[in-house]
Each structure stands twice: as C-alpha cells, then as structure tokens.
Structure 1
Amino acid sequence: MAKEKKSLQKNIESLEKKKRKGKLTDIEIEKENIKISKQQIKIKELEADVEDAQKKLGKVRN
C-alpha cells in the first residue's frame, strides 16, 4: 500500500508541475485528475481490505 501512496503522490506532483509550466490542455488535465482519482479509490479499497482482514484475524484469535 505504501507503494501505491508513493505513486499517487508522485503523479499529483507531476500534474502540478506540468500545470505550472502550462504544458497540458484542459482535457489532459482532466484525464490526469481521473487517473489520480482512480488511484485514490484503489488505495481506499486496499485500506478497507486490510481493515476487514484485521477484523477477521481478531475474531479468529478470540
């Protein structure tokens, strides 16, 4: 999960850098925002999976 968070942060920084330089069209900016949103969703899903697994593990141990 740390790998995904690092990748997300890298993509956000890259997008901001490209926006500052004016190298992206409005459509390209939106595509990058969608890509970032998908990464955020994936991270949230992974966090939920980890939480569920921890709950199940806690039930098994008790």
Structure 2
Amino acid sequence: ALCTEAALNAIQRKYPQIDKSNDCLLLKPEEISVGLKEIKILIKSMFVFCLNCFF
C-alpha cells in the first residue's frame, strides 16, 4: 500500500491535471519515477494524518 501511494504521488506530481480532468489522458509511464521525494511526501502525510487521529 505504501508503494502504491508513493507511485500515485509520483503520477500526480508529473501529471497534476490528472485529478482535474474527466478526459482520458495519455500518460508515459517511462517518464514517471518514484523516488525519495515521493516517500518523504507519503511519510509526512501519514504523520499528519496520525496526529489528527489522536488530537
């Protein structure tokens, strides 16, 4: 699940219009890379989510 979320973050970073469009978009998977940046974004969002659950 963590890898899937990191991949979704990478896709949204590369193609920000993906959430705003109802049209089918032509994506180039070879241009999408999941790196440390996406993992950091994921960990930060999980941390904030956990804080909101407890406080």
Higher helix share: 1
What's the TM-score bracket when you normalise by the shorter of the two chains?
Answer: 0.3 to 0.5
TM-score normalised to structure 1 length = 0.41
Highest Rg: 1 or 2?
Answer: 1
TM-score, structure 2 as length reference = 0.46
